[in-house]
Amino acid sequence: MRADEAEEFAAFVRARSASLHRTALLLTGGRHAADDLVQGALERACRHWSKARRADSPEAYVRRILVNLANDRWRGLRRRPVEVPLAEDRPSGEDPYGRVAERDQLMRRLHALPIQMRTVLVLRYFDDMPDEGIADLLGVTPSTVRSQASRALAKLRAPVGRTDPGQGADHARI
State the amino acid at position 80 in one-letter form.
R
Residues with Cβ within 8 Å of 166's Cβ and at least 6 positions away in sequence, in order, are 82
Which of residues 2, 4, 33, 39 is near another protein by CB under 8 A?
A: 39
Contact criterion met (CB below 8 Å) for 23 and 126? yes
Which of residues 151, 153, 167, 168 is near another protein by CB under 8 A?
A: 153
Backbone angles phi, psi at 23, to 5 degrees: -65, -45
Which of 145, 105, 106 has its CA nearest to residue 123? 145
Which of 79, 77, 80, 52 has its CA nearest to residue 66? 52
Closer Cβ to another protein, 84 or 158, answer by number: 158
Shortest distance, position 64 Cβ to another protein, whole Å = 7
Q: Measured between alpha carbons, how far is 94 from 141 in angstroms, rounded to an integer?
A: 41
Q: Is residue 117 a contact residue for another protein (CB under 8 A)? A: no
Closer Cβ to another protein, 35 or 163, answer by number: 35
Q: Measured between alpha carbons, how far is 102 from 160 in angstroms, rounded to an integer?
A: 11
Residues 43-72 within binding reach of another protein (CB under 8 A)? 43-48, 51-52, 61, 64-65, 68-69, 71-72
Residues lying near another protein in the complex (CB under 8 A): 1, 6, 9-10, 13-14, 17-18, 21-23, 25-26, 31, 34-35, 38-48, 51-52, 61, 64-65, 68-69, 71-72, 75-76, 78-80, 91, 93, 100, 103, 106-107, 110, 121-122, 125-126, 139, 153, 156-157
